[in-house]
Amino acid sequence: MSTHRLPAIALALGLGSGAAFAAGPNLGTPIEPAEIAAWDISIQPDGTGLPIGGGTPAQGAKIFAQKCALCHGESGKGGVFAALVGGAPLIGGIDTPKTIANFWGYSTTVFDFIRRAMPWQQPRSLTDNEVYALTAFILAQNKLIGEDDSMNAETLPKVRMPNRDGFIIRFPDKI
């Protein structure tokens, strides 16, 4: 092995020091977590990434009527776009529309998607409290939590979705 390969090997082994990094193009700029915070919005199923704050179904109902019902119908029963409440049993097979209640495996996905993508015309305009409240409202409408249950970083990941165990990893060897 020739000596000029050594820096790359060191990196591969995780032994890279500042000097070793200099071996590559090294054109990235170091960045601090605080600088990434506005973009760092991924929530994981165990709750990792959930922000501080919280909200109740009652709070969510008001926000929903103002900002969501136009597309998703009154109380999320479906309108121009997808219903957020209800859903037929999946034993109907491929003809069954997927809904939060009958399909989604994790409650954290509800929070994550509202926060990153909704409302359609003004994504990322909701406060974290509003996202918690809307998440609580939708989960309560689906009777997955109680009418008075507040959703926050502690409670949300503990909501067990009905179809949590309904999935088969297609190609386990690819993971």
- Site of interaction with another protein (CB under 8 A): 8, 11-12, 14, 16, 21, 24-33, 35-36, 39-46, 48, 71, 81, 89-96, 98, 103-106, 108-109, 112-113, 116-117, 120-121, 123-124, 163, 166-171, 174-175
Residue 160 token pair: 């067990």
Q: Which is nearer to another protein, 45 or 53 (CB)?
A: 45
Least separation in angstroms between residue 74's CB and another protein is: 18
Say how many C-beta atoms besides its own lie within 10 A of residue 4's C-beta. Answer: 8
Sign of CA dihedral 63, 44, 140, 148: negative
Q: Which is nearer to another protein, 98 or 143 (CB)?
A: 98
Least separation in angstroms between residue 108's CB and another protein is: 7
HSE (CB half, 13 Å, CA atoms) of 101? Answer: 19
d(CA 138, CA 3): 61
Residue 119 token pair: 């409302």
Least separation in angstroms between residue 58's CB and another protein is: 25
